[in-house]
Structure 1
Amino acid sequence: MTNVLPAAEQDLPPPFGANLFVGGYEANSVDGVNADYRIATGDKIAIWLWGAVSVNDVAVVDAQGNIFIPEIGPVKVIGERAGDLHRLVEKQIQRIYTQDVETYVNVLTATPVSVFVTGPVLRPGQYAGIASDGLLSYLKRAGGIDSERGSYRHISVQRNGKTIADFDLYDFLLKGTLPNIQFRDRDVIVVGQQGATVVVEGGARNPFRFEFANTKAKGNELVTYARPLAKVSHVGVQGNRETGPFSVYLDFSKFEDISLHDGDTVFFKDDLHAQIMNVRLQGEYLGPSFYTVNKGTRLHDFLNHIAVSADESNYQSIYIKRRSVSIKQKEMLDQSLDRLERSVFTAPASSDGEAVIRAKEAALVTEFVARARQIQPEGKVIVADNGNIANVRLEQGDIVVIPKRSDLINIGGEVLMPQAVVYNPNATLKDYVAWAGGFTERGDAERIAVVHANGMVSFNRDQKIKPGDQVLVLPYIDSKNMQLAKDITQIVYQIAVAANVVL
């Protein structure tokens, strides 16, 4: 089978669960006096009696697990929950004082314990804490599990040479379950060596390095851990087997039964090409604005399903906004701006005076370039001319614009009073400019753009203005450098055409 998979990257992703040891919770240990804390030797317990008898004492749990209460005697408390301690002691007191005696019992301090942490952790050693501190707290004090050598799935707690608990942190990461044990002095936490691992890449919510409980695992187990995205259609597996390099590419439905080995890399891929597209409507129309169409649908087929009002819609001037065209226009604009910057900063100066002019000119051009780079082209595709609409193939994300029928002419750019005026069939381009107050000092009478309702931009001064058109007077470019003036003029034209903006 031909290997169609990408090569695995040199840098492996972090293991699943590595961020467990990022927080600072090892410094947030409580005193161990929560309700589930188990009483241990050396704990200090405050006892108050009032009423028929008065006692105010602090008892220490002795080596036999008892506390001694005057006039009552020893009471065994070792191993009892802190939340049950009051009821236990009160019951013993009421055996002697049957009435008129009130009792209050509280655990003051928990006895510190010393726990050893060893195995592939960053700082193995002996760490102080309290009995109710959890496994994660002690592992964090030891710097966390070594991501290259340590196991997140095989962690044991040993007491007197015997294993009393086994931990699999994946149960905690996936389900929130973690065995609850109370540590004792000289307990040992042993982190096992890292087992078989599989690297997940591509379309997964958890793109990490996963460790299996055994040397091999099925694909369905990895699916549970990695949580592939809904769009995933195929899975690639790359690794090594006893027979040599191994590579397979299969449907996602068949991945659950495949056997994974140590060192495999799994790629979750969206390899099905969508057969439908999303197309939107803007402007003046009747009905919804969002449509789902089959791939390959053409404009005429789409428009056959669109209702418009003949009185309100200028349906003969339809145009399309297309993202791919917008991106291409942006690339061409950026290339022109790059050339302009190079011509400015590399232009020679024959004298000191000319050098000063060049420096000032460069500062102005730099400001112009910065503003021009912020322009985002609209990506217009002209499909209508004189009422004829081209039957172009639609693309994903196209926006079909049906202009609103208008009786106004908008005049902007380098005019004194940018405004909208009512269309006059007998008026010329000069008339509309005059109605907007005429040219500014920077206005160029030779460079006037007319943006038609169908999106087409024309620079013909003798053209006939139509209802709904937009008139843009471009600025006059003054420069001592002929090439510089030519480049800036070209960019101004590009922006006017691509974004209907005068810069």
Structure 2
Amino acid sequence: MKKSFLPLSILLFISINCLAQEQTRAELASQVPGQLTPSQNLNLDQYIQSPTGQLSPLQPGSLPAQDENAVYPFGFNLFNSGIESSRESGINPNYLVTTGDKISVQMWGAVNFAQVLTVDTQGNIFIPNVGPVEVGDIPAASLNQIVTNQVRRVYTKNVNIYINLLTATPVGLFVTGAVSKPGQYAGLSSDSVLHYLKRAGGIDPLRGSYRKIQVLRNDTLVKSYDLYEFLKLGKLSPFSFQDNDVLLVAEQGSVVNVEGTAKNPFSFELSADESSGIQLMNYALPFVEASHVAVSGIRDGNPVSVYLSISEFESFKIEDGDSVLFNNDIRPQVLSVSVSGSYLGPSFYAVTPDARLQDVLSLIEVNPEHAAIDSIYIKRKSVAEQQAELLSDSLYRLERSVLTAPASSEGEAAIRIQEAQLITQFIERAKEVEPLGKVVVTNNGVAANIRLEDGDEIVIPEKTDLIQISGEVLIPQAIVYREDAVLSDYISAVGGFTERANKSRVAIIHANGLVAFSETSNGSYWLGQGSSLELQPGDQVLVLPKVDNKILQAVKDITQIIFQIAVAANVATD
């Protein structure tokens, strides 16, 4: 007989009849601590500001911004690379021949000539019977071909020619201005401007300009560099430096700080013809999800701020000292909800922002023989983050209380030191715990039709006949469920407690995510029929460790954190 798989909403029709059962919902909220129920409508008009475009472009006040000193300039790491590789010969193919260079000229065949010639002050070498040959500012890679062509005008046949640049003339450059270590530095005439800037410790990130770097020769400007062209496009035009040239790094011009959802969250120096938002965006490269821009700055001596859409910001005039924050301020039109566990069909659903649990359950198919539909729960990112924050706060308070505990004697001080070491180890292990963010939505066959959040994971547990026993027991393992068995029977089946077990309270983690703790009665465990602690197939019994109150002073705090971890992550930490 063919099995029929029904939508989950039909299987839960009786139990998820929450919209019409306010009394049942209230009972569920009282049974499950922290249970979410649909909230009442709130009038939020007083919290909503006027839409963008209705306000004047500049408004009094300022937006909170990061400290400007924490925003690095664009290209700040250009001079932070490791050891430079050096050429043993000191010559590269792009080296430009200059005055004083030594060139080997060899001719054989009908004419024999071998001599090392020096480039004169006019940029020429003189070859007998050929005359002066201009080689100044010729790349080293082209030198052989150019000289050969000149020689062949005189010796057309039976003469072989070989030209080689032997040495490059070193030059001394004065690097000054807004650099870390101004001074005179030696190099080659063909070395790049970056080479000399790095020798001088790089551009001062607080006051140096990456866009106005000048080469002065005899007090005359002969070359200017804009390193933004190199940073964005890889363009760095070659230049032949001469001895005693001055490399001057100018002071910064207008600077704008960029933060937020941008690929380049740095401070940018604007040239004289750059003042619009679109020009800044070409450098900052905001991410595609960036929808709005917050700008704060000074206008006419007063602090101002403005919040614009991306399209409005493109034509907005930015000025020196502005702080620009790119922001993703578009509310999602759909929620992404995933499904895990025992289900059929898709594992991912895109639903409207006002979707509730019932809406998604109606889309999920399950096999009722396999799926524990009465134990559905939700894993929620926001809950996991909140659990992690609360755990972190508890660990901080514990650490502070231990490290600041007073000692009245040397013996007590030694005990406090031992305590601090043990607790520090416990804190480090506890920090590694990742909360699951479970939201309990079902209890006693009733489910709360709560509003969903983006990223929610609906977990449909698989039906099982086992109960997991773990924690401080001798042989942690899975035991087959028996209706007539109580907690003590399962504990005995795994060898009993360890010496470090906390026998007074044992955590019971139900399949629906609800965590409860058993209580001892006359030295034995009692789980009443029909109570929230009644063991069911799929439950997990977690025996927590006991804290030694003879050694540790902060027993109460540590015990509380252990229980907190058990609830948040379903694990036992000691």
TM-score by length of 2: 0.76
Q: CA deviation at 1:332?
A: 4.5
User: Which amino acid is 1:466 matched to?
Assistant: Q
Q: CA deviation at 1:397?
A: 2.5
Instruction: Show CA shifts across 1:67-121 (max 9, x none).
Output: 3445655544334333332223334444555544432210001223344444444
Alignment check: 8 A CA contact 1:201 1:266 kept: yes
Q: CA deviation at 1:355?
A: 8.7
Match of 1:49? 107
Alignment check: 8 A CA contact 2:419 2:551 kept: no
Q: In structure 2, do the counterparts of structure 1 residues 279 and 94 end up closer, same or farther at CA, with 3 Å as the change threshold?
A: same
Aligned 1:44-83 pairs, distance under 5 A: 44-69=102-127, 74-83=132-141
Match of 2:482? 424
CA distance in 2, matches of 1:500, 1:235: 43
Match of 1:248? 306
Q: CA deviation at 1:181?
A: 2.3
Match of 1:6? 64
User: Which amino acid is 1:462 matched to?
Assistant: L
SS at match of 2:63: coil
Q: CA deviation at 1:127?
A: 3.8
Alignment check: 8 A CA contact 1:32 1:133 kept: no
Q: Determine if the alignment matches structure 1 residue 468 to structure 2 residue 538.
A: yes
Q: Choose the corresponding residue for 2:239, options 142, 164, 181.
A: 181
Alignment check: 8 A CA contact 1:215 1:262 kept: no
Q: CA deviation at 1:357?
A: 7.7
Match of 2:352? 294
Aligned 1:176-325 pairs, distance under 5 A: 176-214=234-272, 217-242=275-300, 244-325=302-383
CA distance in 2, matches of 1:237, 1:346: 45
SS at match of 2:568: helix
Moved more, 282-291 or 435-444: 435-444
Residue ranges of structure 1 left out of the alignment (5+ in a row):
none
Moved more, 333-342 or 432-441: 333-342
Q: Which has the higher contact order (CA 8 A, sep 6+)?
A: 2
Q: Choose the corresponding residue for 1:494, options 551, 557, 564.
A: 564
Q: CA deviation at 1:253?
A: 0.7
SS at match of 1:145: coil
CA distance in 2, matches of 1:354, 1:143: 54
CA distance in 2, matches of 1:46, 1:360: 78
Pairwise CA RMSD of aligned residues? 3.6
CA distance in 1, matches of 2:182, 2:417: 64
Q: In structure 2, do the counterparts of structure 1 residues 182 and 25 end up closer, same or farther at CA, with 3 Å as the change threshold?
A: farther
Alignment check: 8 A CA contact 1:131 1:182 kept: yes
SS at match of 2:115: strand
SS at match of 2:211: strand
Moved more, 382-391 or 176-185: 176-185
Q: In structure 2, do the counterparts of structure 1 residues 19 and 444 end up closer, same or farther at CA, with 3 Å as the change threshold?
A: closer
SS at match of 1:11: helix
SS at match of 1:467: coil
Instruction: Show CA shifts across 1:297-317 (max 9, x none).
Output: 211111111121112111110
User: Which amino acid is 1:259 matched to?
Assistant: K
Q: In structure 2, do the counterparts of structure 1 residues 440 and 225 end up closer, same or farther at CA, with 3 Å as the change threshold?
A: closer
Moved more, 200-209 or 331-340: 331-340
Instruction: State, as a whole percentage, how many aligned pairs show the same letter.
Output: 52
Instruction: Show CA shifts across 1:40-68 (max 9, x none).
Output: 22211112334455443212223454334
Aligned residues: 503
Q: CA deviation at 1:370?
A: 4.5
Match of 2:455? 397
Q: Choose the corresponding residue for 2:508, options 450, 458, 470.
A: 450
Q: In structure 2, do the counterparts of structure 1 residues 452 and 57 end up closer, same or farther at CA, with 3 Å as the change threshold?
A: same
CA distance in 2, matches of 1:457, 1:274: 33
Q: CA deviation at 1:454?
A: 1.1
CA distance in 2, matches of 1:276, 1:172: 42
Alignment check: 8 A CA contact 2:62 2:303 kept: no
Q: CA deviation at 1:233?
A: 1.9
Q: Choose the corresponding residue for 1:171, options 214, 229, 240.
A: 229
Alignment check: 8 A CA contact 1:31 1:130 kept: no
Moved more, 368-377 or 414-423: 368-377
Match of 2:144? 86
Q: In structure 2, do the counterparts of structure 1 residues 203 and 72 end up closer, same or farther at CA, with 3 Å as the change threshold?
A: same
Q: CA deviation at 1:27?
A: 8.1
Moved more, 37-46 or 82-91: 82-91
Moved more, 114-123 or 305-314: 114-123
Instruction: Show CA shifts across 1:125-165 (max 9, x none).
Output: 54433221222223333443344444332333344554333
CA distance in 2, matches of 1:353, 1:145: 58
Q: In structure 2, do the counterparts of structure 1 residues 413 and 34 end up closer, same or farther at CA, with 3 Å as the change threshold?
A: closer
User: Which amino acid is 1:141 matched to?
Assistant: R
Aligned 1:342-381 pairs, distance under 5 A: 367-381=425-439
Moved more, 385-394 or 43-52: 43-52
User: Which amino acid is 1:291 matched to?
Assistant: Y
CA distance in 2, matches of 1:348, 1:85: 82
CA distance in 1, matches of 2:551, 2:91: 83
SS at match of 1:45: strand
Moved more, 80-89 or 90-99: 90-99
User: Which amino acid is 1:388 matched to?
Assistant: V
Instruction: Show CA shifts across 1:283-310 (max 9, x none).
Output: 1112233333322321111111112111
CA distance in 1, matches of 2:91, 2:396: 69
Q: In structure 2, do the counterparts of structure 1 residues 497 and 108 end up closer, same or farther at CA, with 3 Å as the change threshold?
A: same
CA distance in 2, matches of 1:65, 1:97: 23
SS at match of 1:236: strand
Q: In structure 2, do the counterparts of structure 1 residues 27 and 114 end up closer, same or farther at CA, with 3 Å as the change threshold?
A: farther
User: Which amino acid is 1:293 matched to?
Assistant: V
CA distance in 2, matches of 1:345, 1:45: 75
CA distance in 2, matches of 1:185, 1:348: 70
